[in-house]
């Protein structure tokens, strides 16, 4: 069959496909791979691992019928495509015929009969296929909550707040804090994992391709339930690579309950992009004239963000005054925490215990219950 007659629905797409949110019916069902070709299967399993999914494998067409209608995606090898056509499974969307060899014309005819969307050639479309599989977790209702933290002014405590949020969130599930400020104090030092082995940005910025959520989670230095993505210190000027930041943030969201991103104050298009990808953006500032003025400038910088808010350290101004001056809601206000420097120096991180102003602020931001007396003492906005 000439290429022009193969039909526009059968071309090998290299763009990311539209993929609707996974329904409740298919949410916990893995993708289905139908092939007895071991070479093709090895390729597909490697791509599935990169996407952090484990497919169901059917080496016999009758096995495939068990989950055919419920699998979110079905990948069919050419070796079993004709047999599947013969047993006539019900027509369904998101079926793809995958080949590691140049497809003959009759494979396109078989694809039409099967009701599949297209023929996908490997390795040329490997990236496209990894994205398709990764979308199964990206659209999962349980994907992580991403919170960006940025200082309204110097010394506002944004890094401390980011670490505290990560530590508190770890009580409910795996969390990670991501350091996007190469000139900052270093989140690994703040959390006492600077001597732990694991991935840093230095290595991550040298990698290419899709990043598995599981691989990132297991590779990062971790204490308890908190993972840390930060920098080595070797005297070099460090910079972020856009592709690495996007992959790390996507993998972190898929593999963690809460993702906290520590953002630098310096203007940078990449940092603005990362902030836009956050579900919430917190401007940490001190209760001073300088701090509130800085928070107001940050509000102007991120005026289009969907969910910005202020975290106020100090009690010189009321939350209502700050909200009027900055034009953003104050989501938490707290006093300075005693012994903070000592806790960090000892490697405990800013939350040495689950009590204190910082712990109560973190709990309030994350929507966790706090004792009635604690909430009153915290002085948070209602």
Q: Give the span between the Cα atoms of 87 and 84, in whole angstroms.
A: 5
Name residue 76's beta-bridge partners: 34, 97
Please check whether residue 305 is in contact with residue 274, taking contact to mean a CB–CB distance below 8 angstroms. Answer: no
Nearest to 363 by CA among 381, 375, 377: 375
Q: Do 213 and 179 fall into the same domain?
A: yes
Q: Do 188 and 305 fall into the same domain?
A: yes
Total domain count, the chain: 2
Q: Do 189 and 263 fall into the same domain?
A: yes
Q: What is the pLDDT of residue 161?
A: 95
Q: Do 369 and 225 fall into the same domain?
A: yes
Q: Do 121 and 171 fall into the same domain?
A: no
Q: What is the pLDDT of residue 370?
A: 62
Q: Would you mind telling me the total number of residues written for the chain in this entry?
A: 382
Q: Do 364 and 335 fall into the same domain?
A: yes
Q: What is the pLDDT of residue 186?
A: 84
Q: Do 149 and 133 fall into the same domain?
A: no
Question: Among 122, 138, 154, which residue terminates a domain?
Answer: 138
Q: Give the span between the Cα atoms of 368 and 219, in whole angstroms.
A: 28
Q: Do 175 and 131 fall into the same domain?
A: no
Q: What is the pLDDT of residue 228?
A: 95
Q: Give the span between the Cα atoms of 63 and 34, in whole angstroms.
A: 9
Listed as ranges, residues in the chain with pLDDT below 70 are: 1-28, 137-142, 207-210, 233-237, 370-382
pLDDT digits (tens, 9 = 90+) for 171-199: 999 999 999 988 888 888 889 988 888 98
Q: Do 152 and 298 fall into the same domain?
A: yes
Give the DSSP H or E segment for 170.
Answer: none
Phi, psi of 246 (to 5 degrees): -65, -45
Give the global pTM.
Answer: 0.68
Q: What is the pLDDT of residue 230?
A: 92
Domain of 294 in residue numbering reads as 145-378
Question: Among 108, 138, 168, which residue terminates a domain?
Answer: 138
Q: Do 198 and 321 fall into the same domain?
A: yes
Question: Among 138, 154, 185, which residue terminates a domain?
Answer: 138
Q: What is the pLDDT of residue 16?
A: 36
Q: Do 14 and 101 fall into the same domain?
A: yes
Q: Do 254 and 280 fall into the same domain?
A: yes
**CATH number of the domain enclosing 76:** 3.40.50.2300
**CATH number of the domain enclosing 251:** 3.40.50.300
pLDDT digits (tens, 9 = 90+) for 20-56: 334 444 446 899 999 999 999 999 999 998 888 899 9
């Amino acid at each position: 069959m000439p290429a022009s007659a193969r039909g526009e629905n059968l071309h090998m797409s290299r763009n990311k496909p539209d993929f609707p949110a996974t329904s409740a019916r298919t949410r916990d069902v893995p993708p289905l791979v139908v092939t007895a070709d071991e070479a093709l299967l090895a390729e597909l399993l490697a791509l599935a691992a990169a996407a952090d999914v484990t497919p169901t494998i059917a080496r016999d067409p009758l096995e495939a019928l068990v989950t055919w209608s419920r699998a979110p995606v079905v990948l069919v090898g050419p070796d079993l495509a004709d047999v599947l056509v013969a047993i006539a499974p019900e027509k369904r969307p998101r079926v793809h015929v995958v080949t590691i060899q140049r497809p003959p014309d009759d494979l396109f005819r078989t694809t039409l009969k099967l009701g599949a969307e297209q023929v996908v050639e490997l390795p040329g479309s490997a990236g496209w296929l990894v994205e398709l599989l990764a979308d199964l977790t990206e659209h999962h209702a349980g994907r992580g909550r991403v919170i960006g933290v940025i200082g309204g002014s110097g010394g506002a405590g944004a890094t401390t707040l980011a670490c505290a949020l990560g530590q508190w969130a770890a009580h409910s599930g795996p969390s990670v804090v991501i350091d996007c400020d190469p000139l900052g104090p270093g989140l690994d030092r703040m959390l006492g994992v600077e001597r732990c082995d694991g991935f840093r940005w230095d290595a991550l910025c040298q990698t290419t391709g899709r990043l598995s959520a599981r691989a990132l989670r297991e590779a990062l230095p971790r204490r308890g339930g908190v993972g840390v993505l930060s920098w080595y210190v070797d005297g070099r000027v460090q910079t972020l690579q856009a592709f690495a930041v996007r992959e790390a943030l996507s993998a972190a969201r898929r593999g963690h309950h809460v993702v906290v991103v520590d953002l630098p104050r310096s203007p940078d298009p990449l940092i603005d992009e990362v902030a836009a990808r956050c579900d919430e953006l917190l401007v940490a500032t001190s209760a001073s004239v300088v701090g509130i003025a800085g928070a107001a400038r940050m509000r102007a910088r991120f005026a289009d963000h969907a969910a910005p808010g202020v975290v106020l350290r100090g009690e010189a101004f009321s939350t209502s005054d700050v909200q009027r001056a900055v034009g953003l809601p104050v989501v938490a206000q707290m006093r300075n925490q005693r012994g903070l420097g000592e806790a960090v120096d000892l490697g405990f991180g800013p939350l040495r215990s689950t009590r204190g102003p910082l712990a109560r602020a973190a709990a309030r931001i994350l929507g966790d219950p706090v004792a009635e007396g604690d909430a009153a003492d915290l002085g948070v906005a209602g």
